[in-house]
Amino acid sequence: MADFFSIVIISSILLLPLLLHLLLKKPNPNPNPPSLPGLPLIGHLHLLKPPLHRALAHLSDLHGPILLLRFGSRRVLHVSSYSGANECFNVNDITFANRPRFLSGKLLGHNHQTIVWAPYGPHWRNLRRITTVELLSTYRLLSSSHIRSDEVLSLVKTLLRDYSGPGFHLTELKTKFFGLAYNNIMRMIANKRYYGNADESSSEAGIEFRDIMRETVSVSGTTNPADFVPVVRWLGIGGHERKLKRLRRRRDQFFDGLINEHRTAKKMTGSQHSKGSPAERSTVIDVLLSMQEGDPEYYNDAIIEGFITVMLIAGTDTSATTMEWAMALLLNNSQTLKKLRDELDANIEQGSLLQESDFSKLPYLHAVINETLRMYPPAPLLLPHESSQDCTVGGFHVPSGTILLVNTWKINRDPKFWDEPNKFMPERFLRTNNEKKSDEIVKEGLKMIPFGLGRRRCPGEGLAMRVVALVVGTLVQCFEWDRVCDGELDMSEGAGLALTKVKPLEAMYKPRESLASLLSQL
């Protein structure tokens, strides 16, 4: 009996702090966000039909712009209003500055140590500083403009070479846009060109690189059920982890070769690339190797590989898909296409191709790109964030550890902010629009967040806008374009996390007669 009372007394003492905490804890004055009944084990996953951003937008139409869901075992807050997104990324910016831990971040993100997957803290802030100051600064973008001009010129030459005339000729643009985007980024990273007619494209390394990128796009564009339903991973269903591990081995081996090639070249040339300011060094790998010399423990090869991976994934898909959507929209809107061509003809010096230095004279070109990003943002749900502590969004209580998905596709089509939101109207971004004052245009533009907001806003926005505008503007300047069919093009959206066009873009084209002299000299 004495033992029994001793157990009761000890248990009471141990439980007393918990009881006091429960009794003294202040009730949260904010209610939980609206939700809806889910299923055991999978939660609301059964409601998420592809494409995901449209399925979530439909749920928002039914249940409101702030909605708490369960993807398997994980809480997910879906926000589809600009006010809610602004509160998440401004008022609660630090709280939502973390990323959820997914298998892809562990295996392809060097155990969550790249700028995309690293948790918010000193390491991430340093990666961000390197990206914005060393790798993608305005000066470095200006110094790499010749790469973008070269790649666009190569695209024009390819179209001219393939043209058999007379009249219009069929071309498929999707693969050309992706090849251009990869060449642009790889020349910045390592001065390599693995697509097109370059010698490197037919080399063993070129073939391996393209295969790795195809596999990367394939696995990166899909959701891994094991991230939300752990039993899927335990049972090995789908083989997703096995695919990621195989891809990681191939990718790391390839990038190790690139890094060692540059390291050897630096030694053979007396480290000439390490001299001068970072912006004066030739490639991204050279910049990072020079930083490695100063702090080899921190700037190890894994950090360098992480930067390469992020630049390739973030700097190619977004640009290439936006080029494709922009050209498709122009083909479906012939008057807009004509208006853009007229602007280019009026502002580009006769006998010259479009250059980035001309951009300041081309407001309609910028409006076309902005309107494309509004209607077809490359990441319609942005990248997922995760709350590091309890917070309040829209008056609702959001617990720590909640994944945040912001539906920028839905926000960009909100009729409260956009007149005729489903209509392609670049004029809405022009300050000369007589229907709106310039300050209203600016405010409207701020409602569009294709590159995110806050601390985790995409640092590659400047590069993406430059290359997309240069490609679209040059194609419109140099060629006449027409649809392959009598009706409008199929604008169906893909099922992946990136907003891709289901049917690869094909178009009819012919060189413009007014530019025959210029084009014949290319």
Bond before 225 cis per omega within 30 degrees = no
Cα 227 to Cα 39, 101, 106, 221, 488: the distances in Å are 17, 8, 11, 14, 39
> What span, in angstroms and rounded, lies between the C-alpha atoms of 261 and 100?
35
Instruction: Name the pTM for this structure.
Output: 0.90
* Whether 148 contacts 468, CB under 8 Å: no
pLDDT digits (tens, 9 = 90+) for 439-498: 444 445 557 889 999 999 999 999 999 999 999 999 999 999 999 999 999 999 998 778
CA–CA separation, 207 and 194 (whole Å): 8
Distances (CA, A) of 146 to 83, 152, 276, 356, 460: 40, 10, 20, 10, 18
Q: Yes or no: say if 56 and 417 are a contact pair by the CB < 8 Å rule.
A: no
Residues of the chain scoring pLDDT < 50: 1-8, 11-12, 22, 273-280, 433, 437-443
pLDDT at residue 399, rounded to an integer: 97
Token reading at 237: 């269903």
Q: What tokens does 301 get?
A: 């090869």
Q: Which tokens is 161 given?
A: 């070479």
Domains of the chain by start residue, with CATH? 98-374+412-444+460-520 (1.10.630.10)
Question: What does the pLDDT read at residue 237?
Answer: 77
What Cα–Cα distance (Å) separates residue 406 from each residue in 57, 78, 180, 421, 429?
Answer: 10, 6, 30, 18, 23
Average pLDDT of the chain to the nearest whole number? 89
Half-sphere exposure (Cβ direction) of 168: Cα atoms closer than 13 Å: 12
Q: Is the dihedral of CA 57, 61, 66, 72 positive or negative?
A: negative
pLDDT per residue over 158-169, tens digit each?
999 999 889 999
Q: What confidence score (pLDDT) does residue 462 get?
A: 95
In the prediction, which pLDDT does 441 show?
A: 47
**Cα-to-chain-centroid distance, residue 470:** 19
Residue 485 is labelled as binding a ligand: no
User: What is the reported pLDDT for 281?
Assistant: 55
CA 146 to chain centre: 23
